[in-house]
C-alpha cells in the first residue's frame, strides 16, 4: 500500500462544503427552502421565488428583508458563519429558521451563485459572484433594499449528483410544495412563485392563516375544514383539518409545522392517523394544516441537516394533545371558534365568509335566489361565526324512497342526499358501543350458551381481551382449548350469530395490532366488529327503521362515515344538479 | 285458451299466489303466474324455485290451454274491473285478452314452456291437521323466528311430529315460542322439519278456519294441501336447537296479569325508545303492584304502575319490550301468567292451553 494513501489530513473547506452540500442540498427544493428561510429570518415582508428547469437551471429567491453590508455578505458565505446563534446554549432554544450557518456556503459550492444585497439605510448594495464555491467578484452595485440570491446550474460541478435529479416536473412539484408550506406558515409574508417564467402563485402579505388556506386549498376541501385547537401547558396545537368527506390517497395535503417551521414529524402523522381511526378507510388521509407551538427547549430541530425532521422532548404529551384536539374538531364537541379574528391590516374588502362549521354542512350555504331562502348575510358578523343555530340540519330532510341496493334517497332544501342506511346504522351502533354507562346498549342474555371454536391465533387474541369484551357486553368466557362460550350479547347484536361476531372481533383485533394497541383502539376495534356483525346488508330497512336510523345519525358525533370510513351520505347540491343539466 | 270466470274469484286467487314471486330475480319468468285451464278448473301457479304455490278456481272453459303473464300486472287490472264475470282469451301469438262489460285489455304473455316445471315431490309421510288449529299455532309462534340471515335454521318454524302431538316452535336465540296440539298418527311416524319464514307467511295468508291441512314431509321438501291450495316448499337446512332444554321446569314466582292492560302499559312505557328491538324496560314486582319503567339516555323516562295480585318476593327484571309485547298481541285470553325466578333467569309467559313463551332477561348498565 502506498504510504501517501494512509496519511490523514484535514480537508480543505471547499471539499467540506461539497460534502455538506450533499446533505443539505438533496434536491433543488432544498435550495428554495434554505433561501426562503434566510429571507424570513431577515424579516422579509415579500418573498419572490423563481425556478427554471425544475430548479436545476435557475433558482432565485428575492426578499425585501434587512439586507447585509459588504462584510456581512462575505461572511455569510463562509461555512458556519451565522448571525443566528452565538454559543452552544442557543442551540437549545432556537427561534430562527436557520441556525447551522452552513447552507449558503454549501449551496454556493455546488452552483454558480450570485448574492445581491442592500440594507435600506445604506446608499449602495453589494453583489458577490461565486462559482463552485470560489469567489469570482465582489462589487458595489445599485439594488433595492433586501437580498436577492440566484443559483444557476445547480450541481454543475458534481455530475454524479446531477444525474440523480428526478424529472423536471417532479422537482418543480417539490419546489411548489415547499413554497406553499411557507406561505401557509407565514401568512403575514407575501409570496410569489414563478415557475419557468409563469406566475403560479401570488399571495398578498398581511393575510391570516385562514385566508391563506382558502387561497391554497380546493374549495371543496375548504367547505369540509374544521378548526383544530388545543393547549396543554406550554404546548399548543392549532390549525384546520378536513372532515372525512375529503379522502386523499396520500399525506401530501397535510401540512405540519412546528414552531412555524414546516416539519415532518412521524409523531404528528401517527397522531392524525390515530385520531382518524374509524373515520377514514385505511390508506386514506385528510387534508389540513397543523401548527404545533412549544418552547424551543421542548423540541429538537437539529436532528437532520435540512431540519426537515423534528423531535419532541416529551413526545407522548404532544401526541396525546394532538389526538385529543383533532378528535374534538372532527367530532364537533367544541363550538367552532372564531377563526377569522386574527388582527391583520385593515382591509377595504369585506372579510370572506367564515369557514363552515361542520354542523352546517348539510344546510344550504348560500341563499338561493330561485328558492327565496333567507339565509343571513355571511359577513354580517365579522367577529366570527359562532355556532349557527342549525341544531338539526336534517329537519329539512324528506325521505323520497329507497332504491335497489337499499340506498335511501332524501331531499334537502339544497338538493339531494343519498344515504346508505346500513353504513349509517353501523355508525350509530359503533358510537353506542363506545359510550359508557347509560347510553351503552343493554345486554341481552341468550337462551342457550353458544360454543364458538376459534383457530389458535384468533383464540389468543380474544383471550387477551376477555375482560374488555365482557365490559362491552359480550358475555364470553374461555371454555377450554380454543373454545369460548357466549351466553349474552349487547342487545343490538343479539340477533346475529355469536360465531360470526367472535370471528369478526378477532379479525379487527388483528388489524388493530392487538398486542400494542392502546385500550381505546381495542375498544374501537371491538365496536367496529360489533357494528359490522350486527348490520345486515342484504336487508331492506322499513320506513320506521330508516327514520330511526336517520334520527340517530343526526346525533352521531361523526355522521359522515361508517366505522370503516366508508361514506354514509353522498350529497348532491342543487347547484351541482343545475350544472350537470346545463341549466347554468 | 278461452274461459269465463268470476272477477272476485280470480282476484282472490291471484292475491294468494302473488306474494311468492321474488322481489328481484335474474329470471324474469318468475314474476309471471302460470294460468292453466283444464277440466273445468283454472289453475294458477307461482314459484321462486324454493317455494311453489298452486291454487285452482272454478270457471267455464270454452277451450283449454295455458299461458304465463306478469302476476302483478294482471292482478292490478283485474282488481279495477267491474264485478261479475270476465272473459279471458289467449290467441296463437300468446296475447291475453281480458274483456268485462265494455272494458278490453290486451297483455302480452309468455309461453307455458318457459315456466319452471312443478317440483317433483318426494313426499313419504303424511299428517292430517285441523286447519284452524294449525293456523292458530302458527300465529302464536311465528313472530319469534330469527330474521338474521346468518342463522338460516332459525329463519322459520319448527314442526315436530311426535308423542301423539304436533309441536310448533320458533326462536331467535333470545326468546322462544312453543305451541302444541294433540294429533293421531302412527307411533313410528315421528319427524321434525323447519318451514322457512316465507312459506310460513304464505300459510298464514292462505290457511282457513275449516277443514284439514295435509302435511306431506319429504327428504328436502314439505307440502301443504288444503282447500284448493297446494304449497310446496324447501325445508330449511340445519339442526334446530334442542328446544325442550330451554324451557325452565319450575319457576319460583308466578303472577297473573291482565293481558290488555300489560300490553297497553308496555306500549306507553316504550314510547320513548328509539329502538324497540334493542332497548330495555324494567319490571318491578312488589306486593300487589307491578311498576314498569324505562329510562332512555338523553331522551327521558316513563313509568306505569299496574295493580296485580302478587305476594311473592320483590323482584326486578329487565326485558326487551318488543319481545314481551309480541305474544300479547296474538294471544286472545284475558289473562296471562308470568313465571319468574330472578333477574338473570328466563321469564316464562303462558296462557290457557299448552302455549309457552320463554324470554331471556336483559342486563342494563
Average model confidence (pLDDT) across chain B: 91
Q: What is the pLDDT of residues A452-485, one digit of tens each?
A: 998 888 888 888 888 888 888 889 998 888 899 9
pLDDT (tens digit per residue) in B216-255: 998 889 999 999 999 999 999 888 989 988 898 888 999 9
Measured between CB atoms, which of B172, B242, B361 is closest to A495?
B172
Q: What is the pLDDT of residues A257-276, one digit of tens each?
A: 888 778 777 788 888 888 87
How many Å lie between the alpha carbon of A516 and the closest alpha carbon of chain B? 29
Q: How far apart are CA B357 and CA B177, in angstroms?
A: 4
Q: CB–CB of B363 and A446 under 8 A?
A: no
pLDDT at site A15: 67
Check residue B108 and give its pLDDT: 93
Span A56-83, average pLDDT: 82
On whether both B129 and B241 belong to a single domain, the answer is yes
Judged against a pLDDT cut of 90, whether residue B306 lies above it is answered with yes
For residue B364, tell me if it sits in a domain.
Answer: no
Closest chain B residue to A450, measured at CA: B173
* Domain contains B365: no
Residues B209 and B264 in one domain: no
CA nearest to A472 within chain B: B365
Contacts of B344 in chain A (CB under 8 A): 445
Q: How far apart, in Å, do the first and last CA atoms of chain A sit?
A: 83
Do B363 and A439 lie within an 8 Å CB cutoff? Answer: no
**Residue numbers in B near A491 (CB within 8 A):** 277-280, 320, 362
CA–CA min distance B286, chain A (Å): 23
Question: Apex CA A254: angle with CA A555 and CA A20, to 5°?
Answer: 160
Look at residue B120 and tell me if it is in a domain: no
Q: Looking at the partner chain, which of B150, B360, B363 has a beta carbon nearest the beta carbon of A447?
A: B360
pLDDT of residue B232: 94
Give the relative orientation of helices B321-330 and B131-141 as an angle to the nearest 10 degrees. Answer: 160
Closest C-alpha among A212, A12, A26 to residue A107: A26
CA separation for the pair B24, B96 (Å, rounded): 24
Distance of residue B274 Cα from the nearest chain A Cα, in angstroms? 6
Give the position of cell 462584510. Answer: A71
Q: Has residue A424 got a pLDDT over 90?
A: no
Residue B45 pLDDT > 90? yes
Q: Write out the residues of chain B at the interface with chain A, using a CB-CB cutoff of 8 A.
A: 24, 146-151, 171-176, 241-242, 245-246, 274-275, 277-280, 295, 297-298, 318, 320, 344, 346, 358, 360-365
Q: Which residues of B touch A439 (CB under 8 A)?
A: 297-298
User: Which chain A residues are Cβ-neighbours of B298 within 8 angstroms?
Assistant: 439, 555
The residue of B146, B247, B275, B361 whose CB has the most chain A CBs within 10 angstroms, and thus the best one to mutate to test that interface, is B275
Contact between chains at A442 and B175 (C-beta distance less than 8 A):
no
Would you call A448 an interface residue with chain B, using a CB distance cutoff of 8 Å? yes
Measured in angstroms, the CA of B236 and the nearest CA of chain A are apart by 17
A500 inside 8 A of chain B by CB:
yes
Closest residue by Cα to residue A116 from A179, A157, A67, A159: A67
Residue A79 pLDDT grade (very low, low, confident, very high; cuts 50, 70, 90): low
Q: Does any CB of chain B come closer than 8 Å to the CB of residue A537?
A: no
CA distance B149 to chain A (A): 8
First to last CA, chain B: 68
Contacts of A404 in chain B (CB under 8 A): 24
Size of interface A-B (CB pairs under 8 A): 89
* A342's grid cell: 386574527
**Which of B151, B246, B275 minimises the CB distance to A448?**
B246
- Determine the distance in angstroms separating the CA of B239 from the nearest CA of chain A, rounded to an integer: 14
**CB-CB neighbors (< 8 A) of B280 in chain A:** 442, 491
> How far, in Å, CA of A319 to CA of A315, rounded?
6
Contacts A500 to B, Cβ<8 Å? 150
Q: Are residues B255 and B240 in the same domain?
A: no
Nearest by CB to A495, from B148, B245, B275: name it: B148
Q: Give all domains of chain A, ordered by start, each with its CATH number.
A: 13-203 (3.30.565.10), 217-331 (3.30.230.10), 393-584 (3.30.1540.20)
Considering only CB atoms, B275 lies closest to which of A435, A437, A548, namely A548
State chain A's mean pLDDT as an integer: 76
B362 closest CB neighbour out of A435, A442, A536: A442
Say how far apart CA B214 and CA B224 lie, in whole Å: 6
Which chain A residues are Cβ-neighbours of B363 within 8 angstroms? 442-443, 445, 488
CB A56 within 8 A of CB A154: yes
Q: Which of A440, A447, A494 sits opposite B176 (nearest CB)?
A: A447
Nearest of A163, A179, A189, A162 to residue A51 by alpha carbon: A179
Average pLDDT over residues A560-568: 80
Q: Do residues B191 and B266 share a domain?
A: no
* Least CB–CB distance from B274: residue in A435, A496, A552: A552
Hey, are the CB atoms on A446 and B173 less than 8 Å from each other? yes
Do residues B103 and B138 share a domain?
A: no
Q: Do A442 and B173 touch (CB under 8 A)?
A: no
Same domain, B166 and B226: yes
Last residue of a domain, one of B85, B114, B143: B114
Assess whether B216 and B252 both reside in one domain: no
- B92 plus B132 within the same structural domain: no
**Residue A403, min C-alpha distance to chain B (Å):** 12
Q: By CB neighbour count within 10 A (0-12 exposed, 13-18 middle, 19+ buried), where does B345 fall?
A: middle
The reply to whether A405 touches chain B by the CB within 8 Å rule is no
Query: Which of B114, B146, B165 marks a domain boundary?
Result: B114
- Among residues B62, B94, B114, the one where a domain terminates is B114
User: Residues B320, A451, B343, CA angle at the centre, nearest 5°?
Assistant: 30
B173, A495: Cβ pair inside 8 Å?
yes
| Residue B13: inside a domain | yes
- Label residue A90 by pLDDT band (50, 70, 90): low
User: Which of B148, B171, B365 is opposite residue A497, by nearest beta carbon?
Assistant: B148
A487 CA to chain B: closest CA distance, Å?
Answer: 10
pLDDT tens, position by position, A91-138: 555 555 555 557 788 888 888 999 999 998 888 889 999 888 888 888
Task: Indicate if B56 and B154 belong to the same structural domain.
Answer: no
DSSP string, B120-144: PP---EEEEEEHHHHHHHHHHHGGG
**Both B18 and B48 in a single domain?**
yes
- CATH number of the domain encompassing residue B303: 3.10.150.10
Above 80 in pLDDT, residue A390? no
Mean pLDDT, residues A235-247: 85
pLDDT of A246-256, one tens digit each? 778 788 888 88
Q: Is residue B321 part of a domain?
A: yes
Angstrom CA distances, A417 to A389, A574, A577, stand at 21, 11, 12
Question: B319 and B252, same structural domain?
Answer: yes
pLDDT for residue B162: 87
Q: Which residue has the higher pLDDT, B60 or A329?
A: B60
Does B119 reside within a domain? no
Residues 6+ apart with CB under 8 A from A109: A14, A17, A18, A20, A21, A132, A133
Total domains in chain B come to 3
| Distance between A402 CA and the closest CA of chain B, angstroms | 14
The DSSP letter of residue B110 is B
Residues of chain A in contact with residue B24, where contact means CB-CB under 8 angstroms, are 404
Taking CB atoms and an 8 Å cutoff, what residues of chain A touch B149? 536, 538-539
pLDDT at A362 over 90: no
Mean pLDDT value of segment B339-359: 93
Option in B149, B176, B278 nearest A491 (CB): B278
* B19 and B101 housed in the same domain: yes
Q: Of B321, B363, B365, nearest to B342 (Cα)?
A: B363
3-state secondary structure of B62: strand
Q: Please tell me the predicted confidence (pLDDT) of residue A94.
A: 54
Position B15 pLDDT exceeds 80: yes
pLDDT of residue B136: 95
Show the domain range for B287: 248-359
Cβ–Cβ gap B173/A447 under 8 Å: yes
DSSP E strand stretches across A213-278: 225-232, 235-242, 254-258, 261-262
pLDDT in tens, A185-211: 888 999 999 999 888 889 888 888 888
Amino acid at each position: 500500500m502506498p504510504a501517501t494513501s494512509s496519511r490523514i489530513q484535514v480537508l480543505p473547506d471547499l471539499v467540506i462544503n461539497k460534502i455538506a452540500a450533499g446533505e443539505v442540498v438533496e434536491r433543488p427544493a432544498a435550495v428554495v427552502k434554505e433561501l426562503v428561510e434566510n429571507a424570513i429570518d431577515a424579516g422579509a415582508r415579500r418573498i419572490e421565488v423563481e425556478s427554471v428547469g425544475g430548479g436545476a437551471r435557475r433558482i432565485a429567491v428575492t426578499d425585501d428583508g434587512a439586507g447585509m453590508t459588504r462584510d456581512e455578505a462575505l461572511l455569510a458565505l463562509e461555512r458556519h458563519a451565522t448571525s443566528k446563534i452565538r454559543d452552544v446554549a442557543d442551540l437549545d432554544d432556537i427561534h430562527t429558521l436557520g441556525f447551522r450557518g452552513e447552507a449558503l456556503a454549501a449551496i454556493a459550492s455546488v452552483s454558480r451563485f450570485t448574492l445581491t444585497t442592500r440594507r435600506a439605510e445604506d446608499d449602495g448594495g453589494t453583489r458577490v459572484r461565486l462559482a463552485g464555491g470560489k469567489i469570482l467578484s465582489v462589487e458595489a452595485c445599485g439594488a433595492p433594499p433586501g437580498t436577492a440570491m440566484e443559483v444557476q446550474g445547480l450541481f454543475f460541478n458534481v455530475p454524479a449528483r446531477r444525474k440523480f435529479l428526478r424529472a423536471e416536473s417532479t422537482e418543480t412539484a417539490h419546489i411548489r410544495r415547499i413554497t406553499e408550506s411557507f406561505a401557509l406558515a407565514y401568512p403575514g409574508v407575501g409570496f410569489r412563485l414563478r415557475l419557468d417564467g409563469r406566475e403560479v402563485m401570488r399571495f398578498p402579505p398581511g393575510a391570516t392563516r385562514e385566508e391563506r388556506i382558502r387561497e391554497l386549498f380546493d374549495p371543496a376541501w375548504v367547505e369540509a375544514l374544521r378548526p383544530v385547537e388545543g393547549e396543554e401547558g406550554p404546548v399548543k396545537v392549532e390549525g384546520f383539518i378536513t372532515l372525512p368527506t375529503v379522502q386523499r390517497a396520500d399525506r401530501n395535503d397535510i401540512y405540519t409545522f412546528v414552531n412555524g417551521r414546516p416539519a415532518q414529524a412521524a409523531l404528528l402523522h401517527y397522531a392524525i392517523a390515530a385520531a382518524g381511526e374509524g373515520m377514514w378507510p385505511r390508506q386514506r388521509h385528510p387534508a389540513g394544516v397543523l401548527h404545533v407551538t412549544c418552547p424551543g427547549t421542548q423540541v429538537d430541530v437539529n436532528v437532520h441537516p435540512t431540519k426537515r425532521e423534528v423531535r419532541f422532548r416529551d413526545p407522548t404529551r404532544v401526541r396525546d394533545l394532538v389526538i385529543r384536539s383533532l378528535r374534538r374538531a372532527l367530532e364537533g364537541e367544541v363550538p367552532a371558534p372564531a377563526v377569522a379574528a386574527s388582527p391583520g391590516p385593515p382591509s377595504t374588502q369585506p372579510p370572506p365568509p367564515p369557514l363552515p362549521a361542520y354542523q352546517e354542512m348539510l344546510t344550504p350555504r348560500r341563499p338561493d335566489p330561485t328558492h327565496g331562502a333567507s339565509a343571513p348575510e355571511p359577513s354580517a358578523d365579522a367577529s366570527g361565526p359562532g355556532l349557527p343555530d342549525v341544531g338539526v340540519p336534517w329537519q329539512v330532510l324528506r325521505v323520497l324512497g329507497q332504491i335497489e341496493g337499499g340506498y335511501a334517497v332524501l331531499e334537502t332544501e339544497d338538493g339531494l342526499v343519498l344515504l346508505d342506511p346500513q353504513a349509517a346504522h353501523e355508525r350509530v351502533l359503533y358510537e353506542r358501543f363506545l359510550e359508557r354507562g347509560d347510553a351503552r346498549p343493554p345486554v341481552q342474555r341468550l337462551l342457550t350458551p353458544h360454543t364458538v371454536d376459534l383457530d389458535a391465533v384468533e383464540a389468543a387474541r380474544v383471550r387477551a381481551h376477555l375482560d374488555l369484551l365482557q365490559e362491552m357486553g359480550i358475555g364470553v368466557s374461555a371454555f377450554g382449548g380454543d373454545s369460548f362460550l357466549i351466553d349474552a350479547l349487547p342487545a343490538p347484536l343479539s340477533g346475529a350469530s355469536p360465531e360470526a361476531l367472535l370471528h369478526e372481533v378477532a379479525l379487527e383485533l388483528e388489524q388493530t395490532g392487538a398486542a400494542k394497541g392502546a385500550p381505546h383502539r381495542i375498544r374501537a376495534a371491538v365496536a367496529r366488529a360489533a357494528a359490522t356483525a350486527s348490520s345486515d346488508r342484504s336487508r331492506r330497512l322499513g320506513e320506521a327503521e330508516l327514520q330511526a336510523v336517520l334520527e340517530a345519525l343526526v346525533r352521531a358525533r361523526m355522521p359522515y362515515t361508517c366505522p370503516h370510513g366508508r361514506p354514509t351520505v353522498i350529497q348532491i347540491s342543487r347547484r351541482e344538479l343545475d350544472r350537470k343539466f346545463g341549466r347554468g | 285458451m278461452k274461459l269465463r270466470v268470476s272477477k272476485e274469484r280470480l282476484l282472490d286467487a291471484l292475491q294468494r299466489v302473488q306474494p311468492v314471486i321474488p322481489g328481484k330475480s335474474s329470471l324474469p319468468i318468475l314474476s309471471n303466474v302460470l294460468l292453466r285451464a283444464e277440466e273445468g278448473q283454472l289453475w294458477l301457479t307461482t314459484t321462486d324455485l324454493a317455494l311453489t304455490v298452486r291454487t285452482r278456481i272454478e270457471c267455464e272453459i270454452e277451450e283449454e290451454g295455458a299461458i304465463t303473464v306478469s302476476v302483478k300486472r294482471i292482478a292490478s287490472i283485474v282488481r279495477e274491473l267491474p264485478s261479475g264475470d270476465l272473459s279471458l282469451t289467449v290467441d296463437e301469438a300468446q296475447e291475453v285478452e281480458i274483456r268485462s262489460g265494455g272494458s278490453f285489455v290486451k297483455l302480452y304473455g309468455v309461453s307455458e314452456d318457459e315456466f319452471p316445471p312443478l317440483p317433483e315431490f318426494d313426499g313419504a309421510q303424511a299428517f292430517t291437521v285441523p286447519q284452524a288449529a294449525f293456523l292458530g299455532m302458527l300465529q302464536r309462534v311465528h313472530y319469534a323466528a330469527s330474521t338474521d340471515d346468518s342463522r338460516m335454521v332459525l329463519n322459520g318454524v319448527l314442526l315436530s311430529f311426535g308423542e301423539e302431538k304436533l309441536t310448533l316452535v320458533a326462536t331467535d336465540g333470545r326468546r322462544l315460542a312453543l305451541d302444541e296440539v294433540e294429533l293421531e298418527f302412527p307411533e313410528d311416524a315421528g319427524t321434525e322439519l323447519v318451514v322457512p319464514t316465507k312459506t310460513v307467511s304464505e300459510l298464514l295468508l292462505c290457511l282457513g278456519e275449516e277443514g284439514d291441512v295435509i302435511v306431506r314431509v319429504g327428504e328436502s321438501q314439505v307440502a301443504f294441501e288444503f282447500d284448493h291450495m297446494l304449497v310446496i316448499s324447501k325445508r330449511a337446512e340445519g339442526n334446530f336447537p334442542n328446544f325442550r332444554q330451554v324451557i325452565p321446569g319450575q319457576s319460583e314466582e308466578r303472577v297473573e296479569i291482565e293481558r290488555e292492560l300489560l300490553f297497553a302499559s308496555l306500549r306507553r312505557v316504550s314510547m320513548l325508545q328509539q329502538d324497540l328491538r334493542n332497548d330495555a324496560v324494567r319490571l318491578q314486582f312488589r306486593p300487589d303492584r307491578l311498576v314498569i319503567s324505562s329510562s332512555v339516555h338523553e331522551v327521558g323516562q316513563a313509568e306505569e304502575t299496574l295493580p296485580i295480585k302478587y305476594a311473592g318476593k320483590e323482584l326486578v327484571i329487565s326485558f326487551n319490550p318488543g319481545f314481551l309485547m309480541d305474544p300479547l298481541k296474538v294471544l286472545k285470553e284475558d289473562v296471562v301468567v308470568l313465571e319468574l325466578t330472578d333477574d338473570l333467569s328466563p321469564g316464562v309467559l303462558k296462557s290457557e292451553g299448552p302455549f309457552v313463551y320463554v324470554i331471556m332477561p336483559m342486563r342494563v348498565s
